[in-house]
């Protein structure tokens, strides 16, 4: 993290603490206001085509027994982050949980019972002071990988993404400019694959080399590091982004998270959402287009159908093309996983399906 960024985040944390301290000095009931992170306070910005938080806030007051613990937890996490930034060290969100977990005095009450509690407080702090978790010196486990026609610098080490073998370069949680720099990028686009298994198939077939691209996966619902890196590749290098996911409601939503942002992290959409990302498949109409046999399909479950109906109502799925896409899948009553394309041969995806989709601009937005 740059000196300027460290100074900015320290100042935000200091101001956060000073506000509470001033309330105490005035003999007021100490309180903090935290933007509400929920679907009811998530707005789809039609102009910017991203999800963002509304104006609703929740108030945590110290002398409200229902709020006291979370009030204390919020200040505890803020204090720990301040010390991390001052020390110049980073740590995992798992480590932070253990760093801040202890028994209070002689009571049997713990500051945190499990990591889910501390994770939620970290997100509360992020949205309250408008700071990325990564800029608070916190990282999560590495998930996702990338290969392709590019050379990058990772924490001072030069990495040739053309020579990363079968596993690829593991995308870290913190991918900001101070950590990751783009040195020599020859790729013309980025292909994001939902699943590691299909990514490995495409990597083995050297799809990235034949079609001059970067090949990335996020292991399902992509972690923040993958989304943030994708945003940088798109915004800084102007690389088009194609998203390749399962033909089911969960795959559709994963695509929308790349494109518009997520409900849970709507406050970070401006730094993560790739608004011009293209959905390249699998489409509900691909079975007919590519003559995929019926025995490669999977029957939709009641949960799938319920999820379809739910996303049909989301504002960001109101385009006629998306309504048609989802309703066609529901009418057929089946879904397709990426691996279904292997019924046409192991090289079909890399040699026929994806090149044809890209050449014909056969995608959804």
Cβ pair 338, 245 in contact under 8 A: yes
pLDDT for res 180: 93
pLDDT for res 143: 84
Q: Is the pLDDT of residue 299 over 90?
A: yes
Cβ neighbours of 286 (radius 10 Å):
18
Cβ pair 218, 143 in contact under 8 A: yes
Q: Is the pLDDT of residue 4 over 70?
A: no
pLDDT for res 1: 55
Residue 181 pLDDT grade (very low, low, confident, very high; cuts 50, 70, 90) = very high
185-238 pLDDT, tens digit per residue, is: 999 999 999 999 999 999 999 999 999 999 999 988 888 899 999 999 999 999
Q: Where are the beta strands (DSSP E) in the chain?
A: 31-35, 42-45, 50-53, 57-61, 91-92, 138-139, 145-148, 150-154, 157-160, 169-170, 180-185, 189-193, 213-217, 241-244, 278-281, 298-299, 334-335
pLDDT for res 360: 95
pLDDT for res 3: 66
- Rounded CA separation 251/281 (Å): 9
Q: Is the pLDDT of residue 318 over 60?
A: yes
Cβ pair 194, 245 in contact under 8 A: yes
Residue 136 pLDDT grade (very low, low, confident, very high; cuts 50, 70, 90) = confident
Mean pLDDT of the chain: 91
Residue 242 pLDDT grade (very low, low, confident, very high; cuts 50, 70, 90) = very high
Domains and CATH numbers, the chain: 3-29+64-139 (1.10.10.10), 145-359 (3.40.1360.10)
Coil, helix or strand at residue 317: helix
Coil, helix or strand at residue 284: coil
Q: Which residues of 70-81 are buried (b: 16+ CB within 10 A; e: fewer)?
A: bbebbbbbbebb
Residues serving a catalytic function are 98
Cβ pair 254, 263 in contact under 8 A: no
């Amino acid at each position: 993290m740059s000196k300027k960024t460290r100074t900015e985040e320290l100042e935000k944390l200091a101001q956060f603490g000073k506000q509470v301290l001033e309330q105490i000095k005035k003999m007021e009931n100490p309180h903090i206001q935290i933007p509400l992170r929920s679907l009811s306070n998530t707005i789809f910005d039609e102009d910017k085509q991203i999800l963002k938080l509304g104006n609703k806030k929740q108030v945590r007051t110290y002398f409200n027994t229902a709020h006291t613990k979370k009030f204390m937890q919020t200040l505890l996490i803020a204090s720990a982050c301040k010390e991390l930034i001052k020390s110049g060290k980073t740590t995992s969100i798992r480590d932070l949980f253990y760093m801040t977990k202890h028994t209070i005095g002689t009571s049997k009450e713990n500051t945190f019972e499990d990591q889910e509690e501390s994770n939620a407080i970290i997100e509360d702090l992020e949205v309250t002071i408008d700071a990325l978790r990564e800029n608070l010196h916190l990282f999560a486990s590495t998930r996702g990988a990338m290969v392709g026609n590019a050379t990058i610098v990772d924490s001072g080490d030069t990495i040739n993404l053309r020579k990363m073998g079968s596993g690829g370069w593991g995308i870290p949680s913190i991918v900001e400019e101070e950590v990751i720099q783009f040195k020599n990028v020859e790729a013309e686009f980025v292909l994001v694959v939902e699943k590691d298994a299909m990514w490995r198939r495409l990597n083995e077939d050297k799809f990235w080399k034949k079609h001059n691209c970067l090949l990335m996966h996020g292991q399902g619902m992509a972690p923040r590091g993958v989304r943030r890196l994708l945003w940088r590749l798109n915004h800084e290098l102007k690389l088009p982004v194609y998203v390749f996911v399962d033909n089911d409601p969960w795959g559709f939503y994963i695509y929308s998270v790349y494109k518009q942002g997520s409900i849970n992290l709507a406050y970070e959409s401006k730094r993560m959402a790739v608004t011009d990302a293209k959905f390249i498949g699998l489409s509900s109409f691909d079975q007919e287009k590519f003559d995929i046999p019926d025995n490669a399909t999977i029957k939709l479950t009641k949960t799938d159908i319920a999820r379809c109906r739910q996303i049909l109502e989301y504002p960001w799925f109101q385009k006629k093309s998306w309504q048609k896409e989802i309703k066609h899948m529901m009418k057929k009553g089946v879904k397709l996983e990426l691996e279904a394309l292997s019924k046409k041969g192991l090289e079909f995806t890399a040699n026929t399906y994806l090149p044809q989709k890209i050449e014909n601009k056969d995608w959804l937005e």
